[in-house]
Chain A
Amino acid sequence: METQTLAPAQTTQLPQVQEPRSPGCALDLDWVMSAQANTSAIERRAKTLPGRRSVKKDHQAAWLLKAITMIDLTTLSGDDTWERVRRLCAKGRAPVRAEILEALGMDQISVGAICVYHDMVETAVEALAGSGIPVAAVSTGFPAGLSPLELRLKEIEASVKAGAQEIDIVISRRHVLTGNWQALYDETQAMRAACGEAHMKAILATGELGSLRNVARASLVAMMGGADFIKTSTGKESVNATLPVSLVMIRALRDFHDRTGYRIGYKPAGGISKAKDALTYLALIKEELGTRWLSPDLFRFGASSLLGDIERQLEHHVTGRYSAGYRHGLG
């Protein structure tokens, strides 16, 4: 079935976004099926990368600050409360202690987005008013994505209505595991339509897809279906973001850019908690995609504890002394 691409009217911009939004494209199964991913070669590349790229001193500080601006500061817990979300939003507005920024010659920065469950969207939007920080909602029956499709689409619409500017959807893993690419494509497209002007981040839940080849193919189908971002994980799978998975996904989106001209964003999520890991991810993106991708409109970390480690590293950079966690404000 030939599917219509989405209308250009829907390609409006988020404040951070600088270029036309991908409308997706027709499902190209030849392309999908030709995608290959050699696991051991990919692992070797991932393993040697940290040894090939090293960022030190002022450069490291600047890179870590950049990383903060690309964090989707996240709380996705059953015990989330409105106050908890407000605290998080306050941290998102001022993620680094003022005197540290001053020492680095930087103005205040903010995180990339605040990521919450649907019920918390309104609270977050309110708390972030005037900051320009978008709210991202995990909708579509997060994290399993097994509630009825109509309800998942309704949930997206409700989140958008509540003020979410980004929707992190979860794909139906079963479509990937059974090779039903058409179903995956149709579902993604329907969700994209439901998102309207909100940006759609497609969570592939790569830890449940069985192989890197499946990750590559699912990445392509999600982009064809109109994803603005592809994202590794819900954070709830037993394996979340890894460098090999990231390599496969960003190579898929590089191919997508080469063929369609549209840049798709990438969001690794889950398990990235150290400043050093963040630097490795940024180097990976810079190497494989180019510096253009090191920007909140094209790259995000889905993380909750990463910020704390970066803050400690920044204080160490400024003072020359190792820092302590309690010296930095909680989120």
Chain B
Amino acid sequence: MNVPEIFESMEYGPAPESAAEALAWLVDRGASFGHFIDGAWTEPRADFASQNPASGEVLADLTQATQADVDAAVAAARKAQPKWARLSGHRRARYLYALARLVQKHSRLLAVLETLDNGKPIRESRDIDIPLVSRHFYYHAGMAQLMETELPDRQPLGVCGQVFPWNFPLLMLAWKIAPALAMGNTVVLKPAEWTSLTALKFAELCQDAGLPKGVVNIVTGDGAVGELIVNADVDKVAFTGSTQVGRAIRRATAGSGKALTLELGGKSPYIVFDDADLDSAIEGLVDAIWFNQGQVCCAGSRLLVQEGVAQRFYAKLKKRMENLRIGDPLDKCIDIGAMVDPVQRARIAEMVAGSAGEVHQPVQAPEGCYYPPTLITGLAPADKLMQEEIFGPVLVGCTFRTPAEAVQLANNTRYGLAASVWSENINLALDVAPKLAAGVVWVNGTNMFDAAAGFGGVRESGFGREGGWEGLRAYTKPKGRGKKIAAIQAHTGSGATEGIDRTAKLYIGGKQARPDGGYSRMVYSPRGKALGEVGLANRKDIRNAVEAAGKATGWSKATAHNRAQVIYYIAENLSARAGEFAGRIRDLTGASAAKAKAEVEAAIERLFSFAAWADKYDSAAKPVPLRGMALAINEPVGTIGIFCRDDAPLLGLIEAIAPAIAMGNRVVAVACEPFPLAATDFYQVLETSDLPGGVVNILTGAHAELAPHLAGHMDVDAVWSFSGADLSKVIETEAATNLKRSWVNHGQQRDHTDRDWLAAATEVKTVWVPYGE
């Protein structure tokens, strides 16, 4: 077309970004790569190819890591770690600062390389991915600097194995490496096999930054290599990817003592109320579901729009979709680039083909690895596409009538990564945000990220946060070592109890309940005297207790002051019966009078501590680069299953339930196995302390028998175990079912700080509230 013709048509022309520099870099490197281990490159082998999905051309040959490669990488990281951790925070900060600067200095090369390898539009890699990468290193340079003074009780985990996905290759690398290195860990990481190139370029930057060898090790290959890393001698596994693989990793690492964080899939709701700025909400959708071809774990893929404006909204949306430009990702005038791989494209096409809804695809995709922007309306919440993650540029939508129904529909999912709420009414928006089961909520916005703000999910979207102070917990552990727990056997004896027969029951839903199975066992003193019978709970009692806990939602909504009052009241009532409890502890364990008394006093002190914390574990407002607030809100986890310590019949129960209920959780506690009668006495204290029924449920019975049922229950959100029985493996294996959080002792006893308890009892939800008039 010549100028006069364009003058008439006013079309966009091609606006290509040059790939020359990036391709030249590949040529310089011989277009083939080995692994980056211990500061050096291994001999490359052409095991598999990295392709440009937009053109199908091969960009480079890559090497599939073997067991020996992974072992060498882990060994290098292991060797480098103590020295790296011993560097001052300031020295580590300098390295991270250098990496941030190097990313900036090579930003265009990295952006082009990312687009070539992944297919995402150059606008996104240039304006979003790479700037966030360097921001992440800057931010964590600061964290390294501050670690000694601000995190004096924490130490590095050791060697971290990190496996990350193909949708934001370099950004996910940054999210994993920066906090790990800042906290004194060393890493072995594996990029996705479709998109390894920016990670390999990053390895060069590590060399340029003079990073000590072995601190960062990068191996390439497919999921099999990921498995090798998970099973290697690492102290922590961090994974971002599909829920299916995340679940497998949870099972594979169960009981191993390896720390684990998982950032998995999502089906994030995008809620539009009738008073929203509809045009802005539609523009937000473009950024939600047509960002990175919809290959975004937190994509706002489930549109929920209020019925009164739905038709108008859909009409505007369809019109907007017509303007989306799909094509060459290196074109600066393109909204939607290539899907990462033909496999992914085919998978999405198949899912959409199977849909019963009305499919709108107003823009045609070019030939090749492209998939058009798609809207599917007329679906019901029960439809497969409303439930399952599509991971492509496909938006599904349905309507709602009221704010309550919006919340109900939004939470009608196994996932819980992110959510968007659009309304001009601050009351409505700020009321709905906390009710959404999601780790991140954007008010009048979408897909906002920053290193200072935690990112991560609840439910089957995984656990752990990336970014912010909360993200550092995933790369540190408490200082000090645990003590090995010796199993404590229940005492044996014979005979009957003295006086009128008294039966300890289970405590479920605020009522004393006989065990479903109808079995009891006698509890004896160390001298064999019969102290009383205790019920043996079974899986049905767990079911009942979890159901009761699930109904006690009022507790989670109660004010912190109110929760504190109740916990103080429990302490008060326990104190009134301190002598009796001390006597019970003596009878059960044979402890000295002083020791028994001390346990009761310690229990009362714990109640006071967490009554104090109830209204002092502050949420935070993060200084994100935005006019607005990013609130990091400490929310209760939900229903927590707890296996109590065996060595402290009363304290073991109270030290765990106090933080849990202080933060608004509901609890199903399985009492100390050998000495359960202190816990059953304790429910009488609860009954007189204004604690609503169902907030604390107490079961007695065999830990090992109950553990798989409690940990496997789909309506339990977390399981803690301090038991003397070896439950860690079974709990973490069963927890994989719905990816509930687990906090287990791996046979070690530790003194946890209050903040450890509080962190375990809360989820940090990040609520972004941009504002401005």
Please indicate the chain A residues that have their CB under 8 angstroms from the CB of B2 in the complex: 58, 105
| B772 located at the interface, meaning its Cβ lies under 8 Å from any Cβ of chain A in the complex | yes
Q: Is the CB of A40 within 8 A of B628?
A: yes
Q: Is the CB of A57 within 8 A of B13?
A: yes
Within A62-110, the residues touching B (CB, 8 Å) are 62-63, 65-66, 104-106
Closest Cβ of chain B to A230, distance in Å, is: 16
Please indicate the chain A residues that have their CB under 8 angstroms from the CB of B323 in the complex: 287
Q: Is the CB of A55 within 8 A of B444?
A: no
Q: Is the CB of A52 within 8 A of B335?
A: yes
A38 with B444, Cβ < 8 A, contacts A45-B280, A56-B14, A291-B10 known: yes
Within A297-314, the residues touching B (CB, 8 Å) are none
Bound Cα distance A38, B5 (Å): 38
From B270-278, B379-387, B533-541, the one touching the partner chain is B270-278
Q: Is the CB of A52 within 8 A of B772?
A: no
Of the candidates B335, B770, B773, the one having the most CB atoms from chain A within 10 angstroms of its own CB is B773
Q: Is the CB of A39 within 8 A of B773?
A: yes
| A121 located at the interface, meaning its Cβ lies under 8 Å from any Cβ of chain B in the complex | no
A105 with B127, Cβ < 8 A, contacts A45-B280, A52-B335, A55-B12 known: no
Bound Cα distance A55, B333 (Å): 8
Q: Is the CB of A41 within 8 A of B773?
A: no
Within A95-134, the residues touching B (CB, 8 Å) are 104-106
Please indicate the chain B residues that have their CB under 8 angstroms from the CB of A56 in the complex: 13-15
Contact with A along B1-17 (1 / 0, CB 8 A): 11111110111111100
Q: Is the CB of B283 within 8 A of A63?
A: no
Q: Is the CB of A211 within 8 A of B3?
A: no
Q: Is the CB of A105 within 8 A of B4?
A: yes
Q: Is the CB of A39 within 8 A of B13?
A: no
Q: Is the CB of A36 within 8 A of B771?
A: no
A59 with B6, Cβ < 8 A, contacts A41-B277, A52-B335 known: yes
Contact with A along B368-405 (1 / 0, CB 8 A): 00000000000000000000000000000000000000
Bound Cα distance A19, B723 (Å): 81
Chain A, Cβ-Cβ closest to B334? A52
Q: Is the CB of A59 within 8 A of B280?
A: no
Contact with B along A31-64 (1 / 0, CB 8 A): 0000011111111110010011111111101110
| A272 located at the interface, meaning its Cβ lies under 8 Å from any Cβ of chain B in the complex | no
Bound Cα distance A53, B331 (Å): 10
Bound Cα distance A53, B11 (Å): 11
Q: Given B7, B10, B13, B275, which contacts A36 in the complex, CB threshold below 8 Å?
A: B275
Please indicate the chain B residues that have their CB under 8 angstroms from the CB of A43 in the complex: 772
Chain B, Cβ-Cβ closest to A109? B7
Q: Is the CB of A40 within 8 A of B627?
A: yes
Please indicate the chain B residues that have their CB under 8 angstroms from the CB of A53 in the complex: 12, 333
| B154 located at the interface, meaning its Cβ lies under 8 Å from any Cβ of chain A in the complex | no
| B666 located at the interface, meaning its Cβ lies under 8 Å from any Cβ of chain A in the complex | no
Within A275-325, the residues touching B (CB, 8 Å) are 282, 286-287, 291, 294
Within B246-290, the residues touching A (CB, 8 Å) are 275-281, 283-284
Chain A, Cβ-Cβ closest to B274? A34
Within B286-342, the residues touching A (CB, 8 Å) are 323, 332-333, 335
Please indicate the chain A residues that have their CB under 8 angstroms from the CB of B626 in the complex: 40
A40 with B770, Cβ < 8 A, contacts A53-B12, A106-B3 known: yes
Contact with A along B88-128 (1 / 0, CB 8 A): 00000000000000000000000000000000000100110
| A251 located at the interface, meaning its Cβ lies under 8 Å from any Cβ of chain B in the complex | yes
A62 with B445, Cβ < 8 A, contacts A38-B277, A56-B14 known: no
Closest Cβ of chain A to B100, distance in Å, is: 22
Closest Cβ of chain B to A293, distance in Å, is: 10
Bound Cα distance A212, B773 (Å): 7
Q: Is the CB of A40 within 8 A of B444?
A: yes
A39-B771, A53-B12, A58-B13 provided; 12 other pairs, C-beta below 8 A? A36-B277, A37-B280, A38-B444, A40-B770, A41-B280, A42-B277, A44-B445, A45-B280, A51-B126, A56-B13, A63-B10, A291-B11
- A residues near B (Cβ < 8 Å) are 36-45, 48, 51-59, 61-63, 65-66, 104-106, 211-213, 251, 282, 286-287, 291, 294
22 A-B pairs whose Cβ atoms sit less than 8 Å apart in the complex: A38-B277, A38-B444, A39-B772, A40-B445, A40-B627, A40-B771, A41-B280, A41-B281, A41-B444, A41-B445, A42-B280, A45-B283, A56-B13, A58-B2, A58-B13, A62-B7, A63-B6, A66-B7, A106-B3, A287-B323, A291-B9, A291-B11
